[in-house]
Structure 1
Amino acid sequence: MSVSKKLVVIVAMEGTALLDIAGPCDVFSQANKILRNDAQQPGDGYEILLASAVEDHHLKTQSGVELVCPVTIEELDRPIDTLLIAGLGTEFLQYNLHHFYEWLNKVYPRLRRIGSVCIGAYALARAGILRGRRATTHWQYTQDFQDRHPEVQLDTNPFYTRDGNVYTSGGLASGIDLAFALLEEDYGRDLAAQVAKRMVIYLKRPGYQTQFGELLDHHRLANTLAGKLRPWMTQELHQDLSVERLAAQANMSPRNFARVFLRESGLTPAKFVEKLRVETARKYLEESDLSIEQIAEKCGLGGMVSMRRVFLRHISVSPSDYRRNFRTSLHA
């Protein structure tokens, strides 16, 4: 083996999502094939090594597939070029894996770069590596991550982020986006594009992670004014939903209603209603054959131009592009 191969270590533990590991692995391994067979492509590629974050070499993924890690993190005794922390499974959030975080702090200064996939960002945050840095994680964990790690500049909009030599990616498949970014950084866009073509996926996915996320946390809002009024509001989206009308429905004065609503939900009534309109419109785009103009009218979003503007503001994609990407198979 060439000594110039870049050693990429992917750290996993019980409950890791298989795609967090397999996605980046396939990007790097496909790059190796091209580098090996194409004399025009300089470079020796990557060596990929799976390491267990705990003492057990045998780990079961979320899908039930069992992995055998050749080494544990404590057994690693070679220079690491790139260290990636896979999404470690929600169970690990309940434990204080001090030895793991101490190990991360010990090896980090010797790495060319370090990164995380999905909720692997929690490990980097707990080790203090993300302090003061911009980072992302799975959109579902936005509020929880912010509550646990306010010292991190969290942005769950992009598929991946880079801050210095620290990289983080969003949910699951975003690890593939991150791997492409690392590959392009190492060997250029041409090689990365060749790998993307072989894998039949985008080199750079259009849009943002927010396309996949929910604009409103209905579970958290269940016992608030917003949560209690939501079913009624959903039926009335085609009507004017002013503060005065909402307050009357709640048997409150407009001033007190607006104050309580903001305190409980963190949103003004107007902002909540707009997000609810977008969420409802998304469901129609996914599941119905209604035209975009009809959906805009049903959801109180005005016409097509207004609906497009609101969609771009909230989820960075137009209604027509959203329908094309997310329509259910029954309406494909």
Structure 2
Amino acid sequence: MTSVALLAFSGAQSIDVAGPMDVFAEANRFLLPESHYKLEVLGIEHGPLRCSNGVTILADRHFSEAHDAYDLLLVAGGPELVHQEFDQDVYVWLRHAAARAQRFGSICSGAFILARAGLLDGKTATIHWNYAHALASVCPTAQIKTDRLYVQDGRLYTSAGVTAGIDLALYMLTQERGNEVALNVAKRHVVFMRRAGGLSQFTGYLAPYTQEDSPVTQVQQYVLDNLKGDLSTGALASIAKMSLRNFTRVFTREAKISPAEFVENARMGAARTMLENTRTPLKKIADASGFNDPDRMRKAFQRRLGTSPLQYRQKFRAPSP
């Protein structure tokens, strides 16, 4: 049996609890009894826990009663965790429980609980991009990856927002039980075993954050339609009919990302799509996506994804029909 515990609290996001736990529960359908996952929800408070969406869950027991050495210990997230703190005994218990666990981690903003317990110090982690700056201020020594759905750093596993907890659970399931079991679970849940685009949160950056008639949204659309064009910040400022300084300030405020980062994300997205779905030579992909030079594209992939375009294609290209 593999023991899995998830720490929850009043105000937790219910899918942060149910998503990962459902993955492991579904896996039991395909495993021999001796290989089953034994699941447990631990409550930070006593009694029923009312989630952020109004759903009420009942923990199996209070965290203070749990002294097991779990195979996996996860912490749920919740929309108020940026500012919400718990009594010190929660963090003390969590440090000891994580030390005993084979693996531990968080779903989305649950990383704030890990950080306040000192469990992210000097570690590499991820969280939903919208929380990244806040998490960095809580734990300055952590390296926060804003472009990943999940990150493993030794025994530590962290994930980005909401449904990325399911991606993380499927990843762990693949590590422990293999691709076939994980694929069967993904099919049962009608989700991707591995999302198109791999581990990236980039698609979230490309969504408009403003009204359709906003100059920022219009510039974003222009970028997506003209990847091979001049997309320097100065050129985009001219399209928005703003001064360079004002455009940079307004774009960053409304899009939560700089113009240059948005452009690179858009070009990365186009390149990834071609790498995943075509056999187009790398030079042509670099040209079509606006990188122009294969070496420039390679450097962007190494910097943002930690892999080369060729390695990315080998790992993520869809099989031929």
TM-score scaled to structure 2, two decimals? Answer: 0.69
Per the alignment, residue 2 of structure 2 pairs with 6
Q: How far did 1:265 drift?
A: 5.4
Q: How far did 1:143 drift?
A: 2.4
Q: Equivalent residues in 2 for 1:71-86 (5 A)?
A: 71-86=61-76
Per the alignment, residue 25 of structure 1 pairs with 21
Paired with 1:91 and 1:268, the residues of 2 have a C-alpha distance of 23
Paired with 1:306 and 1:85, the residues of 2 have a C-alpha distance of 43
Specify whether residues 272 and 192 from structure 1 end up closer, same or farther in structure 2 by C-alpha distance, changes over 3 A only.
Answer: closer
Of 72, 82, 85, which aligns to 1:93? Answer: 82
Secondary structure of 1:67 counterpart: strand
Q: How far did 1:183 drift?
A: 1.6
Secondary structure of 1:94 counterpart: coil
Per the alignment, residue 225 of structure 1 pairs with none
Question: AA paired with 2:15?
Answer: L
Q: How far did 1:62 drift?
A: 1.9
Question: AA paired with 2:85?
Answer: N
Question: AA paired with 1:50?
Answer: V
Specify whether residues 202 and 261 from structure 1 end up closer, same or farther in structure 2 by C-alpha distance, changes over 3 A only.
Answer: closer
Of 32, 39, 42, which aligns to 1:48? Answer: 39
More displaced 10-residue stretch of structure 1: 45-54 or 201-210:
201-210
Per the alignment, residue 308 of structure 1 pairs with 289
Per the alignment, residue 136 of structure 1 pairs with 126
Per the alignment, residue 158 of structure 2 pairs with 168
Q: Percent identity?
A: 29
Per the alignment, residue 135 of structure 2 pairs with 145
Per the alignment, residue 312 of structure 2 pairs with none
Instruction: Please tell me whether the aligned partners of residues 82 and 112 of structure 1 are also in contact (alpha carbons under 8 angstroms).
Output: yes
Secondary structure of 1:186 counterpart: helix
Q: Equivalent residues in 2 for 1:92-241 (5 A)?
A: 92-97=81-86, 98-207=88-197, 208-214=199-205, 230=216
Paired with 2:221 and 2:32, the residues of 1 have a C-alpha distance of 60
Paired with 1:136 and 1:58, the residues of 2 have a C-alpha distance of 29
Structure 1 unpaired stretches of 5+: 38-42, 220-227, 252-256, 283-303, 318-332
Secondary structure of 2:49 counterpart: strand
Paired with 2:195 and 2:236, the residues of 1 have a C-alpha distance of 42
Alignment RMSD, CA only? 4.0
Secondary structure of 2:121 counterpart: coil
Specify whether residues 245 and 233 from structure 1 end up closer, same or farther in structure 2 by C-alpha distance, changes over 3 A only.
Answer: closer
Instruction: Please tell me whether the aligned partners of residues 139 and 209 of structure 1 are also in contact (alpha carbons under 8 angstroms).
Output: no
Specify whether residues 188 and 131 from structure 1 end up closer, same or farther in structure 2 by C-alpha distance, changes over 3 A only.
Answer: same
Paired with 1:306 and 1:27, the residues of 2 have a C-alpha distance of 40
Secondary structure of 2:131 counterpart: helix
- Per-residue CA deviations over 1:64-120 (Å, capped at 9, x if unaligned) read 111011211101133322101011x23233233222211111222111110111111
Give 1 or 2 for the bigger CA radius of gyration.
1
Paired with 2:8 and 2:54, the residues of 1 have a C-alpha distance of 14
Question: AA paired with 1:51?
Answer: L
Specify whether residues 305 and 113 from structure 1 end up closer, same or farther in structure 2 by C-alpha distance, changes over 3 A only.
Answer: closer
- Per-residue CA deviations over 1:184-207 (Å, capped at 9, x if unaligned) read 222222222222222222222221
Count of paired positions: 270
Structure 2 unpaired stretches of 5+: 271-284, 292-296, 310-321
Secondary structure of 1:16 counterpart: coil
Paired with 1:77 and 1:269, the residues of 2 have a C-alpha distance of 46
Q: How far did 1:231 drift?
A: 7.4
Per the alignment, residue 315 of structure 2 pairs with none
Secondary structure of 1:115 counterpart: strand
TM-score scaled to structure 1, two decimals? Answer: 0.67
Paired with 2:265 and 2:166, the residues of 1 have a C-alpha distance of 31
Instruction: Please tell me whether the aligned partners of residues 258 and 269 of structure 1 are also in contact (alpha carbons under 8 angstroms).
Output: no
Specify whether residues 75 and 194 from structure 1 end up closer, same or farther in structure 2 by C-alpha distance, changes over 3 A only.
Answer: same
Paired with 1:268 and 1:25, the residues of 2 have a C-alpha distance of 33
Specify whether residues 163 and 269 from structure 1 end up closer, same or farther in structure 2 by C-alpha distance, changes over 3 A only.
Answer: closer
Specify whether residues 240 and 24 from structure 1 end up closer, same or farther in structure 2 by C-alpha distance, changes over 3 A only.
Answer: closer
Q: How far did 1:170 drift?
A: 0.9
Q: How far did 1:174 drift?
A: 0.9
Question: AA paired with 2:17?
Answer: I
